[in-house]
Amino acid sequence: MTNDNFIVTPWEVVGDVNYDVLMERFGTQKIDPSILDRVSKHTGELHFMLRRGIFYSHRDFDRILNAYEKKDEFVLYTGRGPSGNTHLGHLMPWIFTKYIQDKYDAKLLFQLTDDEKFLFNRNLTQHDTRKYAYENILDIIAVGFNPKKTEIFLDTDYIKTLYEIALDVSKRITLSTAKAVFGFNNSTNIGRIFFTSIQSVPAFLESKRQQKSIPCLIPCAIDQDPHFRVTRDVASALNYPKPALIHCKFFPSLTGSDKMSASKSNTSIFTTDSPKIAEKKIMNAITGGRKTVKKQRKNGGNPSECSIYQYYYYLFEDKDEKVIMLSEDCKDGKIICGECKQILAEKVKKFLVKHQEKREKAKDVVDQFMCKD
């Protein structure tokens, strides 16, 4: 029996997500071997997030590949809701987006929805969300996007440009659609109801600028799919191509399987955490190990329920042989949690030191990336 007792919306994830069930619920397609073959051919190497099915679902990704094979331009679009500092989980889809940008030489539009986070978080002021946005931008730049091919914008700093398309979109979405797709009700503030029109805009922006049909590919976590279902539904009425999507799973938290949340500071590692703090968080994480070393040696651990193993799998070990070996050694009781945590901590610390250097340097080039009215 499949467990479908969970909820995923763009603003909430409750319960244990079954990703295949979610794909069916949302009506998306699985990324199949034929797509992987094509991407392999185009890129020379499949990203480990594709090999491992971390990016696992899509809508019309094959059409983007068709366009590429015909040498047609396409644009990438992704985003970030600035509700707090950036944690490692946020970097995962951005790192993947950079891979696509580099391999396909595509332009990227990066939206920061400070308006969204203001409207959807009771505790955040407009000042807060703008402040977080500018912090997050440093992390985005630090990921290494091509400065010549990347435009980053904050909704509130670019609204004059965004508004025209947002109006076009909003005129074609009814309240009953918004209720059905997002679960809004009579006590939902009206800003939230309008907001999805703003998230649609970047999908159409390049077509509007160039006055011709430019296909758009949106890499995002699967929880964002409801927005883009609406975007796709209104596209043809507005004479724009439907954006294509490629969806990833959620990055796990240090307590186990849940989506890593920015609000629980001890269960996430932030990009601004000192290496020492990061190490401490890792050493305190929940694993799939046994209660005692003796039991672990005898019975082995359970990597599939281990947050440390997930960290290797999702971000910190790109060599498949090594991930497999780690899993086998764990199950055989050859490696115990203390060691496994320590090795990860070293990798994470190294990563953080480098990332924080790039983050500092990013401060000097923010203006080169930003689009403002």
Residues lying near ligand TRP in the complex (CB under 6 A) are found at 10, 77-81, 111, 113, 116, 199, 218, 220, 224
In the bound state with ligand TRP, the residue whose beta carbon lies nearer, of 204 and 312, is: 204
Residue 55, phi then psi, degrees to nearest 5: -85, 115
| Helices 275-283 + 337-362 axis angle, to 10 | 150
In the bound state with ligand TRP, the residue whose beta carbon lies nearer, of 197 and 199, is: 199
Closest distance to ligand TRP from the beta carbon of 245 (Å) = 9
Give the integer Cα–Cα distance in Å for 286 and 303: 11
In the bound state with ligand TRP, the residue whose beta carbon lies nearer, of 258 and 279, is: 258
In the beta sheet, which residues pair with residue 30? 57
In the bound state with ligand TRP, the residue whose beta carbon lies nearer, of 10 and 301, is: 10
Closest distance to ligand TRP from the beta carbon of 263 (Å) = 13
In the beta sheet, which residues pair with residue 276? none
Closest distance to ligand TRP from the beta carbon of 200 (Å) = 9
The neighbour count for residue 228, using CB atoms within 10 Å, is 24
Closest distance to ligand TRP from the beta carbon of 140 (Å) = 12
Burial group, residue 103, by CB count within 10 angstroms (0-12, 13-18, 19+): middle
CB 358 within 8 A of CB 142: yes
How far from each other are the two terminal CA atoms of the chain, in whole angstroms? 53
In the bound state with ligand TRP, the residue whose beta carbon lies nearer, of 245 and 326, is: 245
Give the integer Cα–Cα distance in Å for 156 and 373: 10
In the bound state with ligand TRP, the residue whose beta carbon lies nearer, of 224 and 310, is: 224
CB 83 within 8 A of CB 124: yes
Closest distance to ligand TRP from the beta carbon of 316 (Å) = 22
Closest distance to ligand TRP from the beta carbon of 82 (Å) = 8
Residues 6+ apart with CB under 8 A from 54: 48, 92, 248, 249, 314
Closest distance to ligand TRP from the beta carbon of 80 (Å) = 5
Closest distance to ligand TRP from the beta carbon of 330 (Å) = 33
In the bound state with ligand TRP, the residue whose beta carbon lies nearer, of 12 and 69, is: 12
Give the integer Cα–Cα distance in Å for 63 and 70: 11
Give the integer Cα–Cα distance in Å for 196 and 331: 45
Helix (H/G/I), strand (E/B), else coil: 61: helix
Give the integer Cα–Cα distance in Å for 181 and 9: 9
In the bound state with ligand TRP, the residue whose beta carbon lies nearer, of 119 and 340, is: 119
Residues 6+ apart with CB under 8 A from 24: none
